[in-house]
Amino acid sequence: MSSERGGGARRLAAADLREMKRRGDKIAAITAYDYLFARLVDAAGVDLVLVGDSLGQVVLGLGSTLAVTLDDMIHHARAVRRGVDRALLVVDLPFLTYQVSREDALRNAGRVMQETGAAAVKLEGGSPETCDTVRALVRAGIPVMGHLGFTPQSVNLTGTRVQARTDDGAARLLEDARRLEEAGAFSVVLELVPGTVAQTVTEALQIPTIGIGAGVGCDGQVLVLHDMLGLNPGFAPRFLRTFADVGQVAGDGVREYVRTVKAGEYPGPEHTF
């Protein structure tokens, strides 16, 4: 339990991830979007819980992350915060909440921190302009996680495909990662990047890398909870491993409930006051 709830355990902070990299300890990260799943993944021992704008697809039924709003993120992050005692809680800044101006980024990231109790925010890209925003957020006391490689908020420009396949692309990725580190980011997600490129970036940085579809050479891994629990049927990218088929179990349970209700078997005498 956290000190906020009267226990003795300490919540992880951004600096703890850098220390984990120094020790060679792998970082286990996962998404969550509600209180019950947040409580479950935190109790299971994950180091980082990400309230990702992937909630657009897996929770809200949208076609991409682009329609997710800041209010959506804050609503779900507040619920997740109530379920997390130990893990570092990071919240995505959604599309166009940080790209227009540094003032917007500060205002919107500040809302996330104040209204959710998150420990950090995440944003996409590593351009000089983006890194100026990262620098401003860090100066304001807001820890920032970067995100490079395939960046879902830019899907209309890049498509959904592996990034940094060429020598030039790999060099740009490394340059962006170094720029983010220099700007003060405490970690960087590498998504859909060749494993050799991700490992090169990981070895070049003092801050940890968290991979998704980026091979084993990163300092940690992140998956979308609904994907790795089999709750998103039909989504099966090469990098994904399904660790439990919760979707099948849940479907079987609901079908059995429907059968017993229609057969007049439920509720039985044991379920009646």
Average pLDDT over the chain reads: 95
Q: Convert the pLDDT of each residue in 185-229 to its tens digit.
A: 999 999 999 999 999 999 999 999 999 999 999 999 999 999 999
Same domain, 141 and 259: no
Number of domains in the chain: 2
Same domain, 130 and 263: no
CB contact at 8 A, 62 and 82: no
Percent of the chain with pLDDT over 70: 97
Same domain, 174 and 259: no
Average pLDDT of span 244-266: 97
Same domain, 182 and 70: yes
- Closest to 90 in 3D by CA, of 34, 36, 144, 45: 144
Q: Which pLDDT value is given to residue 222?
A: 98
Same domain, 104 and 232: yes
| CATH number (domain holding residue 31) | 3.20.20.60
CB contact at 8 A, 90 and 145: yes
Report the amino acid identity of residue 12: L
Same domain, 149 and 265: no
Q: Which pLDDT value is given to residue 25?
A: 98
Q: Which pLDDT value is given to residue 8?
A: 52
Same domain, 208 and 262: no
Distance CA 254, CA 54 (A): 26
Same domain, 52 and 172: yes
Same domain, 99 and 221: yes
Coil, helix or strand for 127? coil
Q: Which pLDDT value is given to residue 234?
A: 86
Q: Which pLDDT value is given to residue 205?
A: 98
How far CA 120 is from CA of 55, 167, 232, in Å, comes to: 18, 32, 27
- Closest to 161 in 3D by CA, of 169, 149, 173: 149
CB contact at 8 A, 123 and 143: no
Coil, helix or strand for 192? coil
Q: Is pLDDT above 80 for 76? A: yes
Tell me the residue length of the chain. 273
Same domain, 230 and 254: no
Q: Is pLDDT above 70 for 16? A: yes
Percent of the chain with pLDDT over 90: 93
Average pLDDT of span 111-117: 98
Q: Could you say which DSSP state residue 9 is in?
A: B
Which range marks the domain in which residue 269 is found? 246-273
Same domain, 250 and 141: no
**Kind and range of the H or E element at 223?**
strand 220-223
Distance CA 26, CA 28 (A): 7
Same domain, 216 and 267: no
Average pLDDT of span 118-123: 98
Active site residues: 191
Spell out the alpha helix ranges (H) of 140-166.
155-158
Q: Which pLDDT value is given to residue 4?
A: 42
